[in-house]
Structures are given as structure tokens and as C-alpha cells.
Amino acid sequence: MSDLSSKYVLQTAGFDARFPNQNQTRHCFQNYTDYFKCIAAKGEDYAPCKQFKRAYNSLCPNEWIAKWDEQRENGTFPASLEP
């Protein structure tokens, strides 16, 4: 058991004062768009971008992420991802 717990560190998104309410839908969407804006501007290897990815993976349902990924690929994503 100790071997398994040393491999994985469970984290969730921290408090963000822009989203003080219980409903985290907007927080989820904002982190998703911020991640793709960040990697467009700085590249996928830029470490601070990974915080956005961890946050949206923690906050967003997997179905939403899959849908948004598909929309990005098809060019129908409803927000601009330009930096």
C-alpha cells in the first residue's frame, strides 16, 4: 500500500477568488480555455500551463472535456483560444 501511495499524489484545484460560489462550471471552462491559450503562447512544455490542465481535469466532467476536444478539432469550439 505504501508503494502505491508514493506513486500518486491526489490534488484538486485550489481556491480561485474569481469563482467564489459552489457552482464551478465557469471555473472549469475558464481553466480549459486558459490551458489552450497558454500552450498556444508558450508551448506545451511550459510548466505553468500544466496548472491549468490539472485544474480543468479536476473540475470538469470527462464528457465535457471530450466534447470540447472534439469541437476544437472540428473548429467549432465556442471560445477563442488565441493568446
Question: Does 54 reside within a domain?
Answer: yes
Print the domain residue range for 54.
39-76
Question: Does 57 reside within a domain?
Answer: yes
Its pTM stands at 0.76
Question: Does 81 reside within a domain?
Answer: no
Using left for φ > 0, alpha for ψ between -120 and 50, and beta otherwise, residue 79 falls in beta
Q: Tens digit of pLDDT for each residue in 6-56?
A: 676 666 667 667 666 677 788 899 999 999 999 999 998 899 999 999 999
Question: Does 67 reside within a domain?
Answer: yes
Question: Does 82 reside within a domain?
Answer: no
Question: Does 48 reside within a domain?
Answer: yes
Question: Does 45 reside within a domain?
Answer: yes
N- to C-terminal Cα distance for the chain?
43
CB 77 within 8 Å of CB 68? yes
Task: Quote the number of domains for the chain.
Answer: 1
pLDDT of residue 46: 93
Does position 3 have pLDDT exceeding 60, yes or no? Answer: no
Question: Does 27 reside within a domain?
Answer: no
